[in-house]
Structures are given as C-alpha cells and as structure tokens.
A = this chain, B = another copy of it.
C-alpha cells in the first residue's frame, strides 16, 4: 500500500526519527542526509499518514464547521459564509470538516470528543444556542459567527447590526426622509433566536426616534407568494412612506421584480436600502444601496483567532465579542427629499 516513514527511512539509509525531523525541520539535518531523504520521499511518493500523526501529536489540523439548516431558510446566502471559512482555514494549514447533522448538539459532541477536530466554527448561531452546552464540554476552542446570549467564554464575530441600522437611518435622515418602512427577517427568525433580527430593528427604531422619523416595522417572509404579500401589506399600511429598509435576504432578492410588478422605481418612487454582502448583491443583481455584511471578513477574522487559540498563542487574551463595523455602500437607490 502507501509508503510509510519506515519505508522512506530504509530507502534513505537513516532512522525513522531522522526522516520525521527532516519533515518537521525541528532539528538540524546534514544537507547530504536531507537530500537522500528528499529523494526517497519523492521516489516512494510518501505522505505522512494523517491518523498516525494526529494520534502522536493530538492535532488533526482539521476545523469543524457546523451549519444549522432551518426550515424556511433562504439557502442561497449560506455559501458566502462557508467559503471564506474554508479559504482561511487552508491558508493556515487546516482542512474543514463540514457538519450538517440535524442533531446539532450531538454532532458537536461527537466530533469534538472523538478528537476529529482541533477547533470549532459555529455558523447560524442563535440567541440561546443549544450547541454551546456541548461545546463547553469540549477541550477544543471555538468561535461563533453570530451572537449568542449564552456565548460567554467563546470568541464571537458578528456584524454590528445595531450600528448597521444607525448607518441606514442616519443616511435616510440626512436625505430628509421622515416616514420609513422596515422589512425585518421573518417572525420565525425571532422565534428561534436570530438576534441580528432585533438588534437591527431595535437600533433602527431607537435611532429614528431621535430624528423624529416614523418607522413602521413588518416581518418579511422567505418564500413566495408570502414575500410579495408582506411587502404589499407593509407599503399599504404606510402610504406616506418615502423609504424602504430591507433586512431580509429573500425579500431583497425578490425586490427588483416586485418593484417592477408594482410599477415602482428606486429611488424615484421609493428610496431603498438593503443589508447584504457584495457577493450576494452581485449574484442577485441588486442595484440597491446597502450595508455590507462582510461575510468574508467575519469568516476570515474568526478563523484566524480560532487558530491562534488552537496554537496556544499567549497573546490571544480573554474571549471577546467582536462586532465588525458595517459600511454603507451607496448604489444610488436613495434620493434627497425636496
């Protein structure tokens, strides 16, 4: 079968430990010996066995990525979080075990206690996340992408949705808007504890009050025809509204066709601001001003910190909750009121 370190050692006429050290560079090897080892490795096509290495070092060089698939979710947005995590992991020499079990807590328990992974990346974090209890039992460090109330002890990376809302409201206030409709994530997102939903909404309402702006908040939906119905109802209930804030992937993705069906144009008839990433906007051809959600930045920063923890970097410090600063990207879908 596959060549082992013993085969290489024999072919190079050295001991197995010398081969190992040549591989790791953890001690000096004479150039001549190293050359012979290199030749033997190339000749035999040797690659160290991952399981054996994991057993000897207690390190797998694998990160676990845990997704949580909710019913009624708008799946097309998911991959934009997965990819940056995968890329950042590889840049740091780690592979990725993708875990999608419906028994989410059991999956965390299973993969951590069997030492399949060196660290854990939690996606789709909810306010009371059941996976966190399983994670506390684990010896591996973890990082959350999202925010959980019971997340103490873990690093968390999330967009600052409060600040995102304030950016949007400030922007509309500057333009003179005084009556605004907000489409939030669907009700079930609140129910299952997607804190980004109310963090954005509460901040928007609070900030708007400061300007004397009226905000009419409505639940969006994730499937047609409910998406359109929710939009119709929201706009009908606020006929004077001059701006629309959309904090929901499915709704913003459907908005271009919705506006057309209703004969509306942004920003002439209605100013529109969304909350989505550049990649998402590009895939769905969204011509709207938005708050950039930066999934690539979140994923990359989260993974980097996790890996520093795994490495035992003494400078990492205490667990932190990092709320990444949002940025407003003006795509011209809002206008100044006369």
Contacts and interface: CB of A to CB of B under 8 A. Distances in A.
A106 to B, nearest CB: 11
A115 interface: yes
A324 interface: no
Interface stretch (A8-16, A22-30, A47-55, A300-308): A47-55
Interface residues of A, number: 59
Contact of A48 (B50, B114, B225, B283): B114
Nearest to A96: B98
A314 interface: no
A112 B257 CA distance: 46
Contact of A55 (B52, B79, B80, B260): B52
A115 B51 contact: yes
Contact of A100 (B1, B83, B99): B83
A331 B224 CA distance: 15
A52 B257 CA distance: 55
Contact of A261 (B74, B253, B260): B260
Contacts of A136: none
Contacts of A101: 90
Contacts of A285: 223-225, 227, 254
A137 interface: yes
Interface in A51-105: 51-52, 54-55, 60, 62, 65, 69, 74-80, 82-83, 86-87, 90, 95-101
A117 to B, nearest CB: 9
A131 B96 CA distance: 19
A113 interface: yes
A139 B47 CA distance: 13
A176 interface: no
A233 interface: no
A279 B75 contact: yes
20 contacts: A2-B113, A2-B115, A45-B113, A47-B114, A49-B55, A49-B115, A50-B60, A50-B116, A52-B55, A55-B55, A62-B97, A75-B79, A86-B98, A87-B100, A90-B100, A95-B111, A97-B97, A224-B285, A254-B285, A260-B261
Given A51-B55, A52-B55, A90-B101, 20 more contacts: A48-B114, A49-B55, A50-B60, A50-B115, A50-B116, A51-B54, A51-B60, A55-B55, A62-B116, A75-B80, A75-B283, A76-B77, A76-B79, A78-B79, A95-B97, A95-B111, A96-B98, A98-B98, A223-B282, A225-B285
Q: Sorted from nearest, which 8 A-B pairs have the closest CB atoms?
A: A76-B76, A51-B54, A224-B285, A257-B257, A47-B113, A98-B98, A260-B260, A50-B114
